[in-house]
Structure 1
Amino acid sequence: MNVESAYLNCLAFFGVGGAHPGGMQLTKSILSREKIVGTTKILDVGCGTGQTAAYISKKYGCHVTAFDCHTVMIEKAKKRFRSLQLPVVTCYGIAENLPFEDGSFDMILSESVTAFTDVSQSIPEFKRVLKPNGILLAIEMTLENSVTEAELAQILHCYGVKQLLNEAGWRAHFQKAGFKQVLSENFKLHPDAQNMCHALDFSLSKNIDPSYFHILHQHQCLSMMYKDILGCRIFRCQ
């Protein structure tokens, strides 16, 4: 994962909780469909400031591990868990080389995270650390319509990602990693909902570089400009 991405740094310094498309409302809806009990072990990959991990711990009382590649995010997540007195385990590292043993988790949650990794390495890692019949829930940016080379370059540059996959591309990577069942759901998001300035959960760093305000604005502009090209899909892989 490219932790030097200006966009990811922006999320970290502003401490945006629920920055993924659909926010916590979508997260709660997706989780409500699953059977989660006290003994369930869940890995939140790219946990950010820990909003989702904290919700899962409080709601289900299960074992939650919050994992991120950005030290600023990890520290803000730890602060959240301490203030709420939640027994969430935090761990720093990269998704392409998870520091966990094979078959460690019943479920992995990846909320707009996998697209920022080398998917040829991260997705097989997800499969490796899941128990047999374990579930991967991924909310991911997806290319929904054709795009010119110039438009693609602009999107990749803004978000600091190396690829922009369509639904078939995501499905191919999941299946290649060994997931036998891959379900895909297209989530329609109103462009205004992508405006992080309207987010309810922030954990601001001190002395934020003014350039990061420009990145927030650029993100909103791209969301509007490419609303028919950039989509969001929910993948359930098992």
Structure 2
Amino acid sequence: MASFGVGGAHPGGLQLTKSILARENIDQETLILDVGCGTGQTSAYIAEKYRCSVTSLDSNNIMLEKAKQRFLSLNLAINVMHGSVENLPFCDGLFDFILSESVTSFTDASLTIQEFKRVLKPNGVLLAIEMVLEDSLSEEELKIIIEFYGVSQILSELDWYNLFKKTGFKEISVGKFKQQSNKNDIDIDAAPDFLLSENIDDKLLAILEKHEQLRKTYKDKLGFYVFRCSF
């Protein structure tokens, strides 16, 4: 992902991000943390749309450099931070919103969610788009997915709900995003953009092809949900 410089790689893309944020009360005084910001597509949209304070965090330096390039080209004053979501480099109670777009699933979720709660203000909101197991997988199928994506487990909707609840979030709403497809139109917001690195290894192209294959194979068993959590 870093070499391809994929922006909006999460399911639903920028289209889903816009839909989620449109329901929230965001103004110029709002402080938002975009974790796993990648190349900064979401952060740039928020800063341009809402004119609020945005902090973009990622653990990948290549992604962060491409995010910085994006923000510079758009003349956006966005705070860019290198760090881990499992140990956020921020003081307690700092942010009004945290946006996690297909990030928490690839971490130790219990640690990450605790960190989210710690750095949110008392009336803060976590908005998370996460992979959800919708139907049972065989041991072999589970092994293939876990090994390819490097996740330790795949959680069901109830697993996620219970994890948020256990961490201390009291108000938890869950929604499933359904991609609206029209064969006659191309929705740019639903597609990722690319900030390509030079000299991309052929092995990376094979990995991307494998990802697309797995996505199609397990589309009826693996979904993604939007969790809105507050306390």
Shared fold (TM-score, shorter chain, > 0.5): yes
Tell me whether 1:202 sits opposite 2:171 in the alignment: no
Query: Match for 2:99: what amino acid?
Result: L
- The separation in 2 between residues aligned to 1:71 and 1:141, in whole angstroms, is 24
Partner of 1:130: 120
What is the CA-CA distance between 1:199 and the residue it aligns to?
3.7
- Measured in 2, the distance between the counterparts of 1:127 and 1:64 equals 18
Contact 1:188 1:231 in 2 (8 A): no
Distance 1:200-1:102 versus aligned 2 partners, 3 A rule: closer
What does the per-residue CA deviation read over 1:182-208, in whole Å, with 9 as the maximum and x for residues that have no partner?
Answer: 1111123489xxxxxx94510011111
Structure 1, residues 135-164: CA drift from partner, whole Å, max 9, x if none? 000001110011111101111111111111
Counterpart mapping for 1:163-202 below 5 A: 163-189=153-179, 199-202=191-194
Q: How does 1:104-123 map to 2 (within 5 A)?
A: 104-123=94-113
Q: Report if the CA contact (8 A) 2:133-2:156 is conserved.
A: yes
Alignment-derived partner of residue 3 in structure 1: none
Unaligned runs of 5+ in 1: 1-10, 192-197
Displacement of 1:176 after TM fit? Answer: 1.2
Q: Does 2:119 match 1:139?
A: no
Q: Secondary structure at the match of 1:67?
A: strand
Pairing 1:43–2:33 present: yes
Name the counterpart of 2:213.
221
Matched, 1:67 2:57: yes
Amino acid at match of 1:222: L
Greater helix fraction, Structure 1 or Structure 2: 1
Check the 8 A contact 2:14/2:191 in 1, yes or no. no
Moved over 6 A (4+): none
Secondary structure class of the residue paired with 2:194: coil
How many residues in Structure 1 have an aligned counterpart in Structure 2?
Answer: 222
Counterpart in the other structure of 1:86: 76
Select 1:17's aligned residue among 1, 7, 31: 7
Alignment correspondent of 2:186? none
Hey, what's the Cα distance between the residues in 1 that align with 2:111 and 2:150?
A: 17
Correspondence for 2:91? 101
Q: Unmatched 5+ residue regions in structure 2?
A: 182-189
Q: Who is 2:222 aligned against?
A: 230
Q: TM-score, normalised by structure 2?
A: 0.94
8 Å CA contact 1:189–1:232 kept in 2: the answer is: no
Give per-residue Cα distances to partners, 1:18-58, cap 9 Å, x unaligned.
00000000100110000000000000000000000000000
The residue that corresponds to 1:156 in the other structure is 146
